[in-house]
Amino acid sequence: MKFPLIVTNFKAYESAIGIQALELAKWHAEIAQETGVTMGVAVQSVDVFRVASQVALPVFSQHVDTISYGAYTGSSLPEAVRQAGAFGTLLNHSERRLPHEVLEQAVCRAKEAGLFVIVCVETPEEGSQVLKFGPDLIAVEPFELIGGTVSVSTARPEVIQEAVEKIGVGKVMVGAGIKNAEDVRLALKYGAVGVLLASGITKAQAPELVLRDLALGAS
């Protein structure tokens, strides 16, 4: 994985599922190719194959469960997600929080399946706690800033610095309110290796313009 990394979480927005997910992912791939900045997308599990089979960029599932092969109707099997073409998975997003004992099992299962794991946390302290589970990256997203108009980079830069101190150099992504090149530039300046965002892209009238702007901050 080449850093810096920009990952867009498509969540379950109407503008970012099905065919729309594919079209939005294609913009990410095109701009990543143009700029040399690594971009990834976190899609609904049902969209992993559609996107991964047609777009050359890291595709993440938004979640996987702790199950192994067997009778587990309705669960998301890590191996199935991997075979669908996923490069990795998000875990413990603020909208899909897991008890830490379950999170540890989920990280383990995801890694066994060959998935790159990004664990989301709300504070640097939580990040230092889940580091022992062995995720590849930890995305720190202060809950109060998620989906807002002010970014963690401008409102809480000390959170980024503290996260790098407590979690380690080369392990920290940040999210919450990331929307432009300056947000990305500041996040990297304070020690993050990437950013995680959602509505700044999925709700944008011209997402390709926003992506190009974000890439400028990472260049």
Residue of 122, 126, 141, 162 marked active site? 141
Residue of 93, 122, 126, 162 marked active site? 93
To the query of whether residue 93 is one of the catalytic residues in this protein, the response is yes
Distances (CA, A) of 84 to 10, 57, 152, 162, 209: 17, 14, 33, 37, 30
**Contacts of residue 217, Cβ cutoff 8 Å, sequence gap at least 6:** 180, 181, 182, 183, 184, 185, 188
Helical packing angle, 207-218 and 181-189, nearest 10°: 30
Return the bridge partners of 194, or none. Answer: 5, 173
To the query of whether residue 141 is one of the catalytic residues in this protein, the response is yes
Whether the Cβ atoms of residue 120 and residue 150 lie closer than 8 Å to each other: no
Residue 72 DSSP one-character state: -
Whether the Cβ atoms of residue 81 and residue 89 lie closer than 8 Å to each other: yes
Please report where in the chains the tokens 């640097």 appear, as a residue.
Answer: 124
Distances (CA, A) of 77 to 87, 89, 212: 14, 12, 34
Which are the catalytic amino acids? 93, 141
